[in-house]
Structure 1
Amino acid sequence: MTESDLQLVRDLPALAFQAMLVFARIGAAAMLLPGLGEQEIPARIRLSLALAITAALLPGLPSAPDDTAEAARLVAQEVVAGLWFGGLARLAALALAIAGQAIAALIGLQGMMVSDPEIGGQATAMARAFGLVSAVLVLGTGLHAVALRALADTYVVLPAGAPLPLGTVAGSVAQAGAASLSLALRLAAPFVIAAVVLNIALGLLSRLVPQVQTFFVVVPGQILAGLALLALLAPAMLLTYGAALSQAFMALPGAR
Structure 2
Amino acid sequence: MLSINSAALQSWVVLLLWPMTRILAMMAVAPILNHRALTARVKISLALLITIVVIPTLPPPPPLDIFSWQGLLILIQQTLIGFAIGFSMRIVFAAVELTGQVIGMTMGLGFAMFYDPQTQGQTNALGQFLVLLASLIFLSLDGHLIMISAVVESFATFPLSTEWQGGLDFMKMAGWGGKIFSAGLMMALPAVAALLITNMALGILTRAAPQLNLFGIGFPVTIFMGFIITALVLPGLLQPMLQLIQENIANMYF
- Same topology, TM > 0.5: yes
Match of 2:26 in 1: 29
Preserved contact between residue 143 and residue 246 of structure 1 (Cα < 8 Å): no
Deviating above 3 A after TM superposition, structure 1's stretches of 4 or more consecutive aligned residues are: 7-10
Preserved contact between residue 88 and residue 252 of structure 1 (Cα < 8 Å): yes
Correspondences of 1:2-151 after superposition (within 5 Å): 2=1, 5-6=2-3, 11-58=8-55, 59-66=58-65, 68-151=68-151
User: What's the TM-score, normalizing by structure 1?
Assistant: 0.88
Preserved contact between residue 18 and residue 63 of structure 1 (Cα < 8 Å): no
Match of 1:152 in 2: 152
Which deviates more from structure 2 when the two are superposed, residues 131-140 or residues 78-87? 131-140
Q: Matched residue pairs, number?
A: 250
Counterpart Cα distance in 1 of 2:49 and 2:172:
28
1:193 deviates by 0.3
Mark the CA change 1:61 to 1:215 in structure 2 (over 3 Å): closer, same or farther. farther
1:95 deviates by 1.5
Question: Is the partner of 2:81 in helix, strand or coil?
Answer: helix
Q: Which amino acid aligns with 1:14?
A: S
Match of 1:239 in 2: 239
**Structure 1 residues 76-110: Cα deviation after superposition (integer angstroms, max 9, x where no partner):** 22112211211111112321111111111111112
Correspondences of 1:131-210 after superposition (within 5 Å): 131-161=131-161, 162-165=163-166, 168-210=168-210
Preserved contact between residue 109 and residue 223 of structure 1 (Cα < 8 Å): yes
**Identical-residue share of aligned pairs (%):** 24
Preserved contact between residue 112 and residue 125 of structure 2 (Cα < 8 Å): yes
1:8 deviates by 8.6
Q: Which runs of 5+ in 2 are unaligned?
A: none
Counterpart Cα distance in 1 of 2:12 and 2:37:
33
Preserved contact between residue 88 and residue 251 of structure 2 (Cα < 8 Å): no
User: What's the TM-score, normalizing by structure 2?
Assistant: 0.89
User: How large is the RMSD of aligned CA atoms in angstroms?
Assistant: 2.1
Preserved contact between residue 27 and residue 50 of structure 1 (Cα < 8 Å): yes
Question: Is the partner of 1:251 in helix, strand or coil?
Answer: helix
Question: Is the partner of 2:99 in helix, strand or coil?
Answer: helix
Question: Is the partner of 1:115 in helix, strand or coil?
Answer: strand
Preserved contact between residue 195 and residue 225 of structure 2 (Cα < 8 Å): no
Q: Which amino acid aligns with 1:24?
A: T
Question: Is the partner of 2:3 in helix, strand or coil?
Answer: helix
1:121 deviates by 1.9
Counterpart Cα distance in 1 of 2:231 and 2:60:
51
Preserved contact between residue 96 and residue 134 of structure 1 (Cα < 8 Å): yes
Counterpart Cα distance in 2 of 1:222 and 1:40:
35
1:223 deviates by 0.9
